[in-house]
A and B are shown apart, each in its own frame.
Chain A
């Protein structure tokens, strides 16, 4: 029983990171129709930067905050490179983001080498749960709630939604569609960076950790058709928990595969139910 609880907690922690990263993908996709596959690289970049900042003597909090800011800037840069040229299709932009992800490998190896790195998170345990997992879960809940409020309750959020729903109409009323896209890339990058910074104390990071992060984040986002943040959160948590259970009770080598196959089954079942509703 104690084992199961521990696996669940670990799963929720990792799942939160997937959900954050996936939400970043959703924010970017909704506004620009681009799937940003550099999202995982942005998370890794933020995490590695924090290891260096902490080693340089910066206090916790500040170092992590700077890491997230850097991730936002990296997101903005990704957006500029991938969508800056007017008339770039979302498909072409997607390929550019893949390329940028590979470029990020070179930068990361150059600065940090190819060995796994980590940094300490919140120490200690609260009610038998490692405190850092509580931190991950509460920060995720807070940030995703704030993102939801941004979209639903602020004029900036309405303008982002308007751009997502009808770019032509957005231009007519004077919304700068290109700027909204870059803003989405920045917010998305910051969400990805936050995922990387939160997860690193409980799961070491290497230059190629981005693959697992972005594949899982993407799977989580796909559950919500890349447009629904609530379902993305559910998808992330589901993936994290299934992974933790597969790793705990069976074999850690296959946990990603098991979780992704599980997600595939969920998607197939859901698609079957949706189409049977449509034909009924």
Chain B
């Protein structure tokens, strides 16, 4: 397991955002986390990255974890290349060449300020910045939000390739459940801070309740 979360509870004052969540991602695994707004998905992301401290429970991370945050959070005045360079700040690696090899779309954007790019281009830079740290697990928060299907398609293709070639594991947090269940092999459903369903993505996609609640199909 790269990540093992056990009985995780996170509170904001009196409100409980996550209530006894247990979840794991194995090396090379593609895992989806779906759920409605306010289910606690982003709280889980922040807890995994050490930004939000749990009230109780355990988080074990064995391996390198990188985050593609919701809203992309690039450094707008810095160039694409500088954004990438900062991606491996902790590891003191500054050579960005391998990222352009992985994501050739970024090559022509290299010297442009990140703040001037389109949403799709920014998401590609955010992905590249996260890959800079050569992670074992990529946590991606709302990758498809506000992006055209074609761009989402190329992002997904890149993720599949990294998974197949380098064994990169992905925890995909998505409101777009259809996309998440298509890409991933296993999934968790989070509602009101609790895991209410989990299992193989295909089985969840076939469950009438999940289909009705998240895929827009009649039960």
Contacts and interface: CB of A to CB of B under 8 A. Distances in A.
Q: B interface, how many residues as a size bin?
A: 20 to 34
A172 B77 contact: no
B69 A172 contact: yes
A173 B89 contact: yes
Contact of B67 (A158, A159, A161, A172): A172
Contact of A155 (B73, B76, B85, B90): B85
A128 interface: no
A159 B73 contact: no
A254 interface: no
Interface residue SS majority, chain A: helix
Interface in B38-83: 49, 51, 67, 69, 73-78, 82
B59 to A, nearest CB: 16
Given A155-B94, A174-B89, A175-B86, A162 B75 contact: yes
B90 A174 contact: yes
A172 B49 CA distance: 7
Contacts of B82: 158
B87 interface: yes
Interface residues of A, number: 15
B73 A172 contact: yes
Contacts of B75: 158, 161-162, 165-166, 169-170
Contact of B77 (A165, A169, A174): A165
Contacts of A155: 85-86, 89, 94
B51 A173 contact: no
Given A173-B87, A174-B90, A175-B89, A161 B78 contact: yes
B129 interface: yes
